Structure 1
Amino acid sequence: MTAVKATPDPATVIRSGPLSWVQQWHWFERTIPAPRRVNPTPLADHCHVPPPATVSDVHMALASLTARHEALRSTIGPLRPVQRVHRPDWAPLPIDHVDVPAVDAGTLEAATAALAARPIDPERNPPWLARVLLEAGKPRAVLIAAHHVMIDGWGLAVLLDQLHDRLRGADGPAETALHPLDAIAEQNLERARLSECEWLARLADNPTGVLAPFGGIADGKGRHRLQYRSVEAYDDLDRVARRHRASPEIVVLAALAHEVATRTGEHRFLASVVVSNRARAALRTSVDVRALTVPVQIDLQPGAAFGEVVASVATASTAGYRHGRYRPAELVAAWSRQDRRRGVVAIPTIEFNCYAWPRGYLVPTRTTPPGGDATWISSAPDEPCETLYVDFSRDAGFITLDVTVGDHLLDAAQAVALPERLCGLLHALAGGAECPVLSDPRTPAASGWWRAPQGWACLTTVEDVLQSHPGVLDVTVTPSGGTSGEGDRPHLVARARVTPGVTIDELHQHVLDHLGDVPGLLTPGRYILSPAEHGTATGGSSVPPMSSRLAVTTSERALAAAVAAVVPDDSRQPSYDNPGSVDMNRCLADHGVTLVEIPRLLMLLRQSGYTGIAADELAGTVSLGHLAAALEPFPPRAHHGGETSS
């Protein structure tokens, strides 16, 4: 790979400014440890090199695109969400060349994956890498990997399309390219707040944990990734889309909703759908980051034919698309606060993404067996995934479904069967079947699961979390509610035998601190405590308001000082000027701190000599006190002689 500058030269910067709201999310995402990320970083794809283009032509085309798109020549700040645009010649083009025996499907996939695995440092270097594959000395394909903070999936497709056009001698787009800094002026605060309110309302109004009782493995903490390709489903999908006068993307989302309803018996749940936010013509030729997820309300009627499902999903998608411009940092913070108030982590049942652009730039090669299907799967037992992610694309006579799912939702066999079932449904529909929505689940919920108003909760999981508190000797958790003296809203009742001094407030805080880590967890609505020795049980009809607690230990004081230092001015209260006033029983979002401040907070902790917590843990529902308990001092440095020093 061509060497690039170790640090950007300030003299090469031609303009600078803040990151857009969308960029801020990806700027934060890069600080999350790789095993804990679900979205691939960086993005990578390829295009073929049309004859008679040469290696020199590839370099000239990429140089031209770098001049056109500021996103390709921008760097970002390490601790604050800022971007700096450099001159087109500020650094050598990050291109290398690799000789391969043949540019076939296997070579392309392996080479693209290898390039995607290379680190990209957008703080110091161009936010992209390119690799030219040479066959017998001639360029056959160009691979590009790009950091998500500057380019999204749609943007990468635009970039490759424009690269391919230049290599075949076509004129570039007539429209002037819009750039990441141009997006700042377009951000509408009032519209963003309305979209954030819509998201929060949908999250509170839909069940969480929909898939977990009907599949997966007990105590699953990992995930499966698989890709399924089908030639036959390509024509089936076309026929179904024409029959119902809907786009192929809407039909696939409707099929996915139909499958979830069939598996679980739930007919109303939330889908998170990625939209490109590129409705204007000028945006369709720009490569910068604009895509966000929108809330799509799935609301199916038992017995409805598939055509009604398609119509319902299409209407809901149109409504959801209005809410694609918001502040992810503010939404994540408000989401965490809402989850703590409700005592459950709200997760959309599915996240759906589709690559709807024409990809004529791909290397012309068949990537599935003739008329057949192909599947690969990989599993990581210690990489979490909270929901079911499905990416759909349609290219060159076949469809591709990429699935990522937590193993507590689907086990490996169920994950492999999911795209097969979706394509089987499309085949039946293409043959004229109506495939009505079933009223009841295909199989009953697993033992121990209870359908609460907030969603599905696992009673044994709630018991295990309470039992993990050192002051709990034994505990049982049962559903209650709807009876005299219990209130009208169903809830969980925890009956625990405890050591002296253990309070309801303490136990409730303990459960709250595990919400984001333990699937199937719901806070009890009532606690009944019995002392270890014979005595009178205590308890109330509801959980009392959470008490405050100040920092006590050294690690708590270090975290409190870091929190006080990063609280934004518009959220700052007089008490935050004093680290001793930071409430350790609240989460970071309760103090007005969003994910934008987390990189600086982690830096302050390192300066205080502490590590041990991940960026995404800080952005969640966990209290500061629980986070402080997980902090670890930096290990002492070792001298060459093997002895250590503090």
Structure 2
Amino acid sequence: MFLEKLASKGVTLAQLPIPVVRNEVERLVLSYAQQRQWFLWQMEPDGSAYNIPTALRFRGQLDLAALQRSFETLIQRHEALRTTIGEEDGQLLQVIHPCQPFELARQAVGTLDEGALQAQVALEVQQPFDLARGPLLRVKLLDLAQEEHVLVLTLHHIVADGWSMPLLIDELVSLYEGYSQGREVALAELPIQYADYAIWQRAWMDAGERERQLAYWMSQLGDDHPVLELPTDRPRPAQQSYRGQRINVDLGEALGLSLKQLVQRQGATAFMLLLASFQVLLHRYSGQADVRVGVPIANRNRVETERLIGFFVNTQVMRAAFDTQLTFSELLAQVRQRALAAQVHQDLPFEQLVDALQPERSLSHSPLFQVMYNHQTRVKGERRSLPGLEVESLPWRVHAAQFDLTLDTFEHEHGFSATLTFATDLFDAATIQQMATHWRNLLQGIVANPDQRVAELPLMDDTDRQHIVDGWNATQADYPGDTSIHQLIEAQVFATPDAPALVFGEHTLTYAQLNRRANQLAHKLREQGVGPDVLVGIAMERSLEMVIGLLGIVKAGGTYVPLDPEYPQDRLSYMFEDSGIPLLLTQSHLRETLPIPAGLRSLDLDGENLEGYSDANPNIDVAPLNLAYVIYTSGSTGRPKGAGNSHQALVNRLWWMQKAYGLDASDSVLQKTPFSFDVSVWEFFWPLMTGARLV
């Protein structure tokens, strides 16, 4: 039907102009972008992430009648400003309303400081829209004083884009200037309306253009669509809240001039260079070799759409591939080639690409990319002088973020400025400030040597480097590094001999009792040839004897090797053989269950009579680097391996724990971890060196 209408107007598909056909079709379909916006709005109808706001400060004599008439003309001129979304027989439609009276909403707020004014503007901007009821243009005039006002304009993204708002302001100012002086204003006639574009877009895609452009993007992006995993301050929530903040990034005139000169030397554009630098930052932060960034494009490459308010902007996914040898110049060439190819394939609606690639969908992040980059040349904060009135853009704090992170760069005569908008669900402002600093450092490094490898470009400046390398590593602390673990326990025995040290069920041993029994065992072990770095196996159930056995081994200067009786026989057999222990401490009732190798000497602590042995400290000369224990790994990455730890390392760890948590005689420590895991070491020895109770 539509193609026949094109043919009847003498239009060929090769030329693809956009004809005026909205009055000739029964139903006004949504564009693909509008369709996605409707879907997002249904998911969060009370959200404001897709509101497009601006605020203007008026100083002087404001002609309210001229302002009212200017808006009436704009709404009559652009059908998008009087469009809502409807549904008929399950199909979504654009509903274009006839021009209705426009009432300029006003609110007297009085003199406000900057913070209060920002809050008032934010309150207006964050009000949700009802896409089915409209209107989708909201205007509020805040009266601060007789000759000072702030005009807050908010459009919903479904009827406008980033190009539309400056266009609306330009036409508003032109209309106001004429009407306030009592003359008519003739704006250039619009060749089409947005509904014409939406109809044409679908027809063009259906005529084969979708397949041509989709083939390119599918070849570029492949079948795997990784989520960019930046280090965040908080875990990613199950569903995005779209709450956000924005920080300004000052690049400085000197750096801006150097970047412009580098762009000329490299035969690229500022967009290409800054995008490449941003991708480097994301690569360095994430460690991922496949970095994908969303890039909005105006998608107004036809004369019919240049002066039209509507949702034309499209989104492309710019992919960068990194390896360890890649230089920045090589990356820039890669980005240049892909950016030029993307321009030739810029018309495929992003929504169509998502539908075709079908990435794993999640409410926690956007599909295909999670970070956006946008480059603009429009000057921000522009002032305009009208008869009797000064008009100035009013910046305000952003409270919404559509993506994890968005970098906006602005090119102007003296260089560049930038902002970073971030999801506050994920990041703190301080983190993003540091990221901005790292990006500036990268740019400085790129300017200094664009042929440097990406992996070697500087992220840190001298202050950061000193802080991280010197400051964070200034962890030197005094601790008894020449003292063995049992000597620390013996010192506690001397200090509190009668205090309870070990509790097991109804049985309690004081520090003195535990020490005497461990000493007797240590002398027995010395008789058996145990000394520094001699491995002694211990296979016992949780009991008083287990703790006496561990302490007795280290007091004899030996190294204990825990063998959990509950382990599978094959694992125990392997550990017996691999460790080569010459002696085993166990309990008599476990003998029949343990695969004890023939010829291995063993002692049953529950039946061994040690009364004839001295209960004095053995005072064995144990060096700081002698092993205190060897514990076998789980074997999840292969065969289990014995991992040893020295007295010095163990004392260092326990001394830090005591400084951090400060156990004393009032504390009890539950020994809950099987002694075949290293955490058990802290549970056994930490309380005994501090006067606490081991339970």
* TM-score bracket, shorter-length normalisation: 0.5 to 0.7
SS in 2 for 1:158: helix
Q: Which residue of 1 aligns with 2:292?
A: 270
- The range that moved more, 51-60 or 427-436, is 427-436
CA deviation vs aligned residue, 1:163-207 (integer Å, no higher than 9, x gap): 123233496653525321110343212222333444444443555
Counterpart of 2:434 in structure 1 is 417
Q: Are positions 1:403 and 2:455 aligned together?
A: no
State which of 143, 153, 166 in structure 2 corresponds to 1:157: 166
Residue 193 of structure 2: SS of its match in structure 1?
A: coil
Q: Note the 1:221-260 alignment, pairs <5 A.
A: 221=238, 225-233=244-252, 236-245=255-264, 246-260=268-282
Offset at residue 313 of structure 1 (A): 2.3
Residues 404-423 of structure 1 show CA distances to partners (whole Å, capped at 9, x for unaligned) of 34866x66643332223223
The CA deviation at 1:67 is: 1.4
Farther off after superposition, 426-435 or 150-159: 426-435
Instruction: Identify if the C-alpha distance between structure 1 residues 51 and 249 changes in structure 2 by more than 3 Å, giving closer, same or farther.
Output: farther
Tell whether 2:373 aligns with 1:352.
Answer: yes
Q: 1:367 to 1:32 in 2, by over 3 A?
A: closer
Matches for 1:195-344 after TM superposition, within 5 Å:
195-204=213-222, 208-212=226-230, 214-218=231-235, 221=238, 225-233=244-252, 236-245=255-264, 246-300=268-322, 302=324, 306-336=328-358, 339=360
Q: Does residue 190 of structure 2 align to residue 176 of structure 1?
A: yes
- Structure number with the bigger relative contact order (C-alpha 8 A, sep ≥ 6) is 1
Root-mean-square deviation (CA, aligned residues, Å) is: 4.1
| Structure-2 change in CA distance of 1:169 and 1:391 (3 Å) | same
Q: Is the 8 A contact 1:211 1:349 kept in 2?
A: no
1:558-609 deviation per Cα after TM superposition (whole angstroms, max 9, x unaligned):
xxxxxxxxxxxxxxxxxxxxxxxxxxxxxxxxxxxxxxxxxxxxxxxxxxxx
Q: What residue is the counterpart of 1:26 in the other structure? A: 37
Given that residues 233 and 427 in structure 1 are in contact (C-alpha distance below 8 angstroms), is that contact kept between their aligned partners in structure 2?
no
Equivalent position amino acid for 1:255 in 2 = S
Cα separation, 1, equivalents of 2:404 and 2:31: 27
Cα contact 1:390–1:402 (8 A) shared by 2:
yes
Structure 1 alignment gaps of length 5 or more: 1-13, 369-375, 444-646
Q: Residue 123 of structure 2 corresponds to which residue in structure 1?
A: 114
Partner of 1:80: 91
Equivalent residue for 1:501? none
What is the SS of the residue equivalent to 2:138? Answer: strand
- The letter for the 2-side match of 1:193 is E
Kept after mapping to 1: 8 A contact 2:83/2:94 = yes
Q: Which amino acid aligns with 2:32?
A: W
1:98 partner letter: Q
3-state SS of 1:81 partner: strand
Change (3 A) 1:249 1:47: farther
8 Å CA contact 2:438–2:459 kept in 1: the answer is no
Distance 1:439 1:431 in 2: 12
Residue 81 of structure 2 aligns to which amino acid in structure 1? L
Q: Aligned partners of 2:440, 2:187: CA distance in 1, in Å?
A: 37
Deviation at 1:65, TM superposition (A): 0.8
| Greater shift in the superposed pair: 281-290 or 57-66 | 281-290
2:68 alignment partner in structure 1: 59
Give the Å deviation of 1:434: 6.3
Deviations 1:222-265 (A, max 9, x none): 67733111444466335413431354443332221111222234
Contact 2:60 / 2:147 at 8 angstroms: preserved in 1? no
Q: 1:390 aligns with which of 380, 392, 407?
A: 407
Alignment of 1:68-107 (within 5 A): 68-78=77-87, 80-88=91-99, 90=100, 92-101=101-110, 106=115
* Offset, 1:430: 5.7
Asked if 2 retains the 8 angstrom alpha-carbon contact of 1:270 and 1:295, the reply is yes
- One-letter amino acid matched to 2:455: L
- Do the aligned partners of residues 339 and 103 (structure 1) sit closer, same or farther apart at CA in structure 2, a change above 3 Å counting? same
CA shift, 1:66, in A, is 1.0
Residues 67-113 of structure 1, C-alpha deviations (whole Å, 9 max, x = no match)? 1111111222056320122222x2x3253123344588656643432
TM-score (norm 1): 0.54
Percent identity for Structure 1 against Structure 2: 20
Q: Is the contact between residue 203 and residue 270 of structure 1 (CA under 8 Å) also seen in structure 2?
A: no
Is this contact kept in 2: 1:265–1:442, CA < 8 A? no
**Contact 2:194–2:308, Cα closer than 8 Å, also in 1:** no
Q: Conserved in 2, the CA contact under 8 Å of 1:55 and 1:139?
A: no
What is the distance in 2 between the residues matched to 1:264 and 1:100? 46
Q: Is the 1:19–1:81 Cα contact (8 Å) retained in structure 2?
A: yes
Q: 1:232 to 1:272 in 2, by over 3 A?
A: closer
Structure 1 residue 32 displacement after superposition: 1.2
Contact 1:58–1:167 (CA<8 Å) still a contact in 2?
Answer: yes
| CA distance in 2: counterparts of 1:365 and 1:227, whole angstroms | 17
The residue identity in structure 2 corresponding to 1:186 is W
Query: 1:128, CA displacement in angstroms?
Result: 0.7
Paired AA for residue 57 in structure 1: A
Q: 1:420 to 1:439 in 2, by over 3 A?
A: closer
SS state of the match for residue 311, structure 2?
Answer: coil
Amino acid at match of 1:83: Q
Cα distance, 1:328–1:438 mapped onto 2, change above 3 Å: closer
Paired residues of 1:347 and 1:387 also in contact (CA < 8 A): no
Quick one: structure 1 residues 432 and 60, their matched pair in 2 at CA, closer, same or farther if it must change by over 3 Å?
Answer: farther
User: 1:132 and 2:141 equivalent?
Assistant: yes
Q: 1:154 corresponds to which letter in structure 2?
A: W
Task: Measure, in 2, the Cα distance between the counterparts of 1:172 and 1:282.
Answer: 18
Provide the residue aligned with 2:210 in structure 1: 192
- For the Cα contact (< 8 Å) 2:284–2:455, is it kept in 1? yes
Partners of 2:436 and 2:310 in 1: CA distance: 31
Q: Is the 8 A contact 2:250 2:418 kept in 1?
A: no
Residue 44 of structure 1 is aligned with which of 47, 50, 53?
53
For residues 249-287 of structure 1, the C-alpha deviation after alignment (integer angstroms, 9 at most, x for no partner) is: 433322211112222344443222111101234422111
**What's the CA shift for 1:50?**
7.1
Counterpart residue identity of residue 166, structure 1 = L
Number of equivalences: 410
Distance 2:84 2:57 in 1: 28
* Matched residue, 1:481: none
CA gap of 1:210–1:20, structure 2 versus 1, over 3 A, is: closer
For residues 233 and 300 of structure 1, the distance between their equivalents in structure 2, rounded to whole angstroms, comes to 29
CA drift of 1:386 comes to 7.2
Deviates more, 1:131-140 or 1:357-366: 357-366
Contact 2:29–2:199, Cα closer than 8 Å, also in 1: no
Query: Which whole-Å CA distance do the structure 1 matches of 2:444 and 2:394 have between them?
Result: 22
What is residue 5 of structure 1 aligned with on the other side? Answer: none
Q: Tell me how far apart the structure 2 counterparts of residues 295 and 219 of structure 1 sit (CA, whole Å).
A: 22
Equivalent-residue separation in structure 2 for 1:198 and 1:318 (angstroms) = 13
Q: Over alpha carbons, which structure has the higher Rg?
A: 2
2:42 is paired with a residue whose SS is coil
Residues in 1 aligned to 2:131 and 2:448: alpha-carbon distance in whole angstroms: 50
Q: What is the distance in 1 between the residues matched to 2:330 and 2:459?
A: 21
Change beyond 3 A, Cα 1:260–1:328: closer
- In structure 2, the CA distance between the partners of 1:378 and 1:185, relative to structure 1 (3 Å rule), is closer
Superposed, 1:397-546 pairs within 5 Å as: 399-405=417-423, 413-427=430-444, 429=446, 436-438=453-455
